Amino acid sequence: MNNPAARLLAPLLVTLCAATAHAEITVRDDGGKAVTLTKPAQRIVAMAPHITELLFAAGGGDRIVGAVSYSDYPEAAKQIPRVGDNRQVDIERIIAMKPDLIVVWMHGSSERQVDLLRQLNVPIFHSEPKKLDDIADSLVRMGQMMATESVANAAAADIRRQFAAMAQTYGKRSPVRLFYQVWDKPLYTLSNGSIVSDAMRLCGGVNVFGDLTVTAPVVGIEAVLQADPEAIFGTAEKNYGGINLWRRYGNMQAVRRDNLFILNGELLNRAGPRMVAGTLALCEKLELARQHRGR
């Protein structure tokens, strides 16, 4: 390179090319789609409570400009402006927020609503963790999209360590057949398509309705009685009716052995970082059920 001007410009061009290359971020979402951002996300709309929790844990809580109802953790999330709920969102309000990233949950957001969001020409990331390992993976990818990798990667590593420790402690214990009651009117449960069943497996639990094809099926009381689970779990969600309805069936194993347990549903039914605490609580209750054998 004999031209002096060219020699001076070359380092600058290299720097500019490197900056441009770094600015464009591409990650693959949980639907398998490549999501590309021209620069790290600064204004994010979170379309499910677990998404809000993941973004905070990944170091981007201050970048969430809009969230849906029940996005109430951590405490700072309660102050984020609402854009609707998991059934209906205010598209005009979302437009006014000028987001550069929208993170959606397909089970909570209707396809029609997501189609409307796609028309905004804003990158959309589909968050749908199916396994416990996916929680840490989600944190890593969200950290990439926000350029908060140092926070996100550390949080992901911590979550992986805690799940690995639980698997080491409980994974080889004798299996406990269980019924997981999400709601009682109608009687909802979860199949193996839910991340909650992955928590059950880690703890040595066997979901009696795990093989059903629907992720959140409605089952009948007779079906539960016929399955005769060793333990029954209910989640302490708002307005939840409780699991006392089973106490009248004294011949059930779960009732006879005093294995009717209540768990905090927000820790297990949201596929976010708090599933570490929720899974540990589930493991501990299943250990109690093992101790109750022989009753």
Task: pLDDT band for 237, please (50, 70, 90 cuts).
Answer: low
Dihedral angle, C-alpha 96, 124, 122, 274, nearest 10 °? 40
- Which residues are 197's β-sheet partners? none
User: In the chain, what percentage of residues exceed pLDDT 70?
Assistant: 89
Which residues 6+ apart lie within 8 Å of 163 measured at CB? 132, 133, 202, 276, 279
Task: pLDDT band for 20, please (50, 70, 90 cuts).
Answer: very low
More confident of the two residues 167 and 235 = 167
Task: pLDDT band for 89, please (50, 70, 90 cuts).
Answer: confident
Of 46-50, 182-186, 251-255, 272-276, the one with minimum mean pLDDT is 182-186
DSSP state of 62: G
What's the confidence (pLDDT) of residue 2? 55
Q: Give domain 171-291's CATH number out of 3.40.47.10, 3.30.565.10, 3.40.50.1980, 3.40.50.9100.
A: 3.40.50.1980
- Residues 189, 219 contacting (CB under 8 angstroms): yes
Mean pLDDT of 146-167: 98
What's the confidence (pLDDT) of residue 183? 85
DSSP 196-229: HHHHHHHHTEEETTTT-SSSS-B--HHHHHHH--
Task: pLDDT band for 171, please (50, 70, 90 cuts).
Answer: confident
Distance, C-alpha 109 to centroid of its chain: 14
The predicted model scores a pTM of 0.87
User: What's the CATH fold of domain 22-156?
Assistant: Rossmann fold (3.40.50)
* Residue 107 pLDDT > 90: no
* Residue 129 pLDDT > 90: yes
Residue among 244, 247, 237, 292 nearest 268 (CA): 237
Residue among 119, 111, 61, 74 nearest 92 (CA): 119
d(CA 173, CA 192): 20
Question: Domain residue spans in the chain?
Answer: 22-156, 171-291
Domain 22-156 matches domain 171-291 at the CATH topology level:
yes
